[in-house]
Amino acid sequence: MRPTCALISVWMLIASASCLAWSKEKGSTPDAVAGTWQCNSHGGPEGDTPFTLRLDQEGERITGSVSSPQGGMDITSASFKDGVLEIHLDTEQGNYVLRATLKGGRLVGGETTHDGEKQSTWEGKKAGE
């Protein structure tokens, strides 16, 4: 009976560690995307363009701003859920949506759409990294 309890305890420890690692990778920490991000956009009408995201986070709700050599603006709305950052920018030129996945402390696989049409790809890393 005792070896069975020890085996169950070991399996529970392994399962707990796996869940913890998975939740950290999915960005479930309270401030997973909060901070300043140095990003690069590729393939848009302006060519490769650096931009900066300044993000605050309260749970899944994100607020902040975006700035680039062309100018800057506050984010209209944004969220961070299941490891995916989604930012909406409503402008006079149309509506932009930026999406990327947080993986290994970086924003990867980013895609920007303009009025629903794919415009460019992008990625980012926290400033100072």
Span 20-50, pLDDT tens digits: 344 444 445 668 999 999 999 998 777 899 9
In residues, how long is the chain? 129
Q: Is the pLDDT of residue 89 over 80?
A: yes
pLDDT for 12: 39
Q: Is the pLDDT of residue 126 over 70?
A: yes
Closest CA to 92 of 69, 61, 115: 115
CATH node for 35-126: 2.40.128.120
- Give me the residue spans of the domains in the chain: 1-27, 35-126
C-alpha to C-alpha distance for 98 and 122, rounded to whole angstroms = 9
pLDDT digits (tens, 9 = 90+) for 91-106: 999 999 999 999 999 9
pLDDT for 44: 76
